[in-house]
Structure 1
Amino acid sequence: MPSIQSLTMTYDALNDDDTFSEGDTLTGKVTLALLKETTVESLVVKAKGDADVHWTKKSGDNTHTYHAHKRYFKLKQCLIKADTQDTVVPKGIHIYKFSINIPPGSLPSSFKGTHGKIVYKLEAKLSRSWRMDRTVEKDIRFVSKSYPNLHALMLPQGASTKKEMGFFSKGHVDMDVTVDKSAYAQGETMAILAKIKNSSSSEMTPKFSLIQEVVYRANSNTKRETSFIHKVVDHCIKSRTQKDVRFAIQIPRVQMPSIQNCDIISVEYHFKAYLDISFAFDPEIIFPVVIIPADLDSGRQPAVSGGPYPAGAAGGQSNSDFPASVAFMGSYPVSPRSGSYRYPGAQRYSAPPPAYPDNPLVYAAPPAVSPAQPANMSRGFNNPVPQLDSPYGSPYLSSFSVIHPPPTAPTFQPPPSAPSPFPPPFSVSQRAPAYNLLPSAPMMNTDFLSQSDEAPPAYSLLFPSSATDTSNAK
C-alpha cells in the first residue's frame, strides 16, 4: 500500500493576468496527503529561472548541434529540513506554506520559441530514504519591467531617403517618414505619417510593415526567425505627383514584449517603410520599435535630479526641516544674503543655543574656526533610530488552520542610516580648566588709609647705596 496519496502545490496570483516581475514575492502552499505514517528526509520548494536554446544545422553529411544555457536564479526554501535523522510525518493532510522573493534587477520575460525558451517555474520535491523522489512543478509567467531609457523611447522619430532613378526611368523620388514614438504598449496604436514626392517618370506603391525578429545565439552562431505582424499597402502614386500617407497600426494585445536583456535569446521589432518600384531598387526606411507590457506605466518614472545637485536644490521642492537659508545651492551651500560659502547645515543663531540636561553647555563653532576638542564629547543625537518592520511581516496567516507552521523567515536588520550632511553641534560636558594669570607687579599689603601724617622716610633709608661713591672730580 503506498504511503503518499497526493502531493500538490499552488501559488497566489498578484494580478488578474497572473504574472510576476522583478522583486515580487512568490507565496503559496504545498499540500501533502499521507495514507499512513511516513518517514521523510526533506521537503523543499525551489524557484528557478533558466534560458535554453538548441538547434541543428546540416552541412553535407555532417550535422552540427548548437546549444546554450543561461541560469538567472535558483532559490530554495526548506519546508522539512534534511537532518541527521529522518522526520516522521503522521497520517493525514499536511499543509506547508512558502514565500520566496524574486531577485530584483534585469530579468528577461518568459518566452517559448521554435529553437529556445525562457522559463520560470516552481518545484516542490519530497525526498524519502530508499524511495524515488516525488516532484510537482508549476510554470509561472514572468513579465520583465526592465526597460532602460524609456523616456527617450517616447520621443518621435523620423528619417528621410532620396533615390535617383536608373536606366528604365528618369528623375528622383523623396520620402520622409515620421513615427510618433519608439516604445508602444501591448494594444497601443502606432501613428505614422509618410510624405512622398515622386519627381520621376515611374509609378510606385508605398508599403509599410511591422516585423518581429527572434534571434537565437549559441557557440558564436545565430539563428533568426522573421515574421510579419502587420502590413499596409497604399494606393499607387502617379508620376510627377506627391502624396501624404497617414495611417495607424495597432499592436496586438497578446504580442510578445521585446526581450533585450537576454544573452542567448532576443525578441526585436522594427517598422519598415518602402516604395515598391518596378525594375528598380526599392528605397526604404527602417525604425526600431520596442513593445512593452500593457501594465507598464511609462508615464511614471523615478525622479532624476538635474545635474550633480541633491533633490530640493536651487529653489526646488525639499523635504528638509531646515530653513531655506541652509538649503544646498550647487555643489556647496551658499548663503542667499552674503553669497559666501559656508559649511553644510551651519545655522546662525540670534540667541544663545538651548542647554540640554546631559550637556550643560553647547557651543556653536564659527564656520572658519575648528574648536579645540575637549576630553569628553557628545554628538548630541538624542533621537533613537526608528526600527523598521520586518519585510516579511506575517505572510503565513490565513483563514484555515495550518498544521505545520512554515520555517521562520530570516530577520533582516535595517541598514545603518547615512551620516547627516550637517555637522553636529559641539557639546562640552565639563568646563575647561581656568588658567592662572601671571602677576605683573608685587602685591602690596600696606593699608594707606591707616597711615599717620608723619613725614615719609628719607630716600637713603629706603634705598641704601650698594657701593661707596668715590668722586674724583677735578
Structure 2
Amino acid sequence: MVATDIAYPKQDIVIHSLQGAQHAQIQKNVERFGSGSVKMDVYIDKMACKPGEGLQVTVEINNQSTSSVALKYILYRIQSRISPTNSTVVIFPLLEINAKAVHSQSKDNITKLITIPRGTPPSISSNSPVEILYALKVCLDICGSSFLYLHLPIFILPDSLYYVKRQHQQQLLDASKSVVAEYSKPNQQTQRAGKRPTKPRSIDNPPNY
C-alpha cells in the first residue's frame, strides 16, 4: 500500500480491527542537487494503543541517490470542531524524535519504540461535533533536496474505564450547566418595563421674616 495522506475510517471504529500491523511505502526521485532515488518502507506493529504504551516502528530505507537522508518521527494530534456553519482544525505536535542519517548508495533498517505520552486524550472518531485524531509522520530529510514523508493513522484508546466514566460525567455536568443557564435568563417577552421611581421632593424651607 502506497500512502502519502492520512486515511481514517469513516464508520464507527471496531477496536479489534485496530490491533493489526500497518505498512506503507513511498519512493521519490532526487532531482535537485543530486540524482538517483530514495525508497522508504514503514512498518508499525499495531494501530491502536493506550497512553504509556509503545509503538514499534520499523523503517527500511533504500537510499540509491547521491545525497544522504535523515530520519525523523513526529507524533501529532489533529483536533477538529465541526459546526453547521464552519469548522476549525488545529494540529498539536506531541513528540519529535530524530534518528540517525543514512548515507548515499546504502540501505538501512531502523527500529524505534515510540511511547505514547501519558495523559494523552483518547481518539474521538466521526459523528461527533469534536474529533480528535492522531497520526505518526515518518519523514526523510534529503540533504540539498525536499522531504519525503508518510502519514500513518494512530488510534489512542482510553487509559482506563475510569477515564471514560469521568469524561461522561463531565459531559453530563456541562449539559446541566447549559440548561440551568438557559432557564435562569429573564423572559424578555413577559417582562414589563416599570415606571422609573421618582425622587421624593423636599419641602421648601419657610421664608425668613
TM-score, with structure 1 as normaliser: 0.31
What is the DSSP-based 3-state SS (H/G/I as helix, E as strand, rest coil) of the residue aligned with 1:166?
A: coil
Within the alignment, does 1:242 sit opposite 2:110 as a pair?
A: no
What is the DSSP-based 3-state SS (H/G/I as helix, E as strand, rest coil) of the residue aligned with 1:174?
A: strand
Which residue matches 2:87?
A: 222
Distance in 2, matches of 1:288 and 1:200, equals 29
Amino acid at match of 1:270: A
Distance in 2, matches of 1:219 and 1:148, equals 24
Cα RMSD, aligned residues only: 1.5
* Structure 1 position 155, deviation (Å): 0.2
* Structure 1 position 282, deviation (Å): 1.2
Amino acid at match of 1:226: I
Distance in 2, matches of 1:187 and 1:171, equals 40
Within the alignment, does 1:252 sit opposite 2:113 as a pair?
A: no
* Structure 1 position 261, deviation (Å): 4.5
Within the alignment, does 1:203 sit opposite 2:68 as a pair?
A: yes
* Structure 1 position 250, deviation (Å): 1.0
Amino acid at match of 1:166: E
Distance in 2, matches of 1:294 and 1:206, equals 30
- More contact order relative to length (CA 8 Å, sep ≥ 6): 2
Write out the 4+ residue segments of structure 1 that deviate beyond 4 Å after TM superposition.
none
Deviations 1:369-413 (A, max 9, x none): xxxxxxxxxxxxxxxxxxxxxxxxxxxxxxxxxxxxxxxxxxxxx
Which residue matches 2:59?
A: 194
Which residue matches 1:181?
A: 46
Gaps of 5+ in 2: 1-11, 162-209
Which residue matches 1:393?
A: none
Amino acid at match of 1:290: F
Deviations 1:317-369 (A, max 9, x none): xxxxxxxxxxxxxxxxxxxxxxxxxxxxxxxxxxxxxxxxxxxxxxxxxxxxx
Distance in 1, matches of 2:94 and 2:153, equals 14
Amino acid at match of 1:241: S
Amino acid at match of 1:258: S
Deviations 1:168-205 (A, max 9, x none): 21110111100011111121111100010110000110
Amino acid at match of 1:205: A
What is the DSSP-based 3-state SS (H/G/I as helix, E as strand, rest coil) of the residue aligned with 1:224?
A: strand
* Structure 1 position 290, deviation (Å): 0.5
* Structure 1 position 220, deviation (Å): 4.0
* Structure 1 position 281, deviation (Å): 2.6
TM-score, with structure 2 as normaliser: 0.68
What is the DSSP-based 3-state SS (H/G/I as helix, E as strand, rest coil) of the residue aligned with 1:236?
A: strand
What is the DSSP-based 3-state SS (H/G/I as helix, E as strand, rest coil) of the residue aligned with 2:52?
A: coil
Amino acid at match of 2:60: K
Which residue matches 2:37?
A: 172
* Structure 1 position 269, deviation (Å): 0.2
Which residue matches 2:156?
A: 291
- Greater helix fraction, Structure 1 or Structure 2: 2
